[in-house]
Amino acid sequence: MPTGLKIPVRVDNQGRADVESNETKNTQKILNLAFSEGGDKNPFQSLGLDDRVIFSLKTPAFRGKALNAVNNILNKFPELVRLIEGTVEFENKVEGEFTITFEYLDLLTQKVETFAQRFFKTVERTT
How much of the chain, in percent, has pLDDT values that exceed 70?
77
Looking at the domain 4-120, which fold is it? Answer: Nuclear Transport Factor 2; Chain: A, (3.10.450)
Domain range list for the chain: 4-120
Q: Which residues contact 43 (CB under 8 A, 6 or more apart)?
A: none
Residue with the bigger pLDDT between 111 and 124: it is 111
Give the separation between CA 74 and CA 67, rounded to whole angstroms. 11
pLDDT tens-place string over residues 53-62: 766 767 778 8
pLDDT tens-place string over residues 93-112: 777 788 889 999 999 889 99
Beta strands 4-5; 19-20: pairing state: antiparallel
Angle CA(31)–CA(14)–CA(1) in degrees, nearest 5? 35
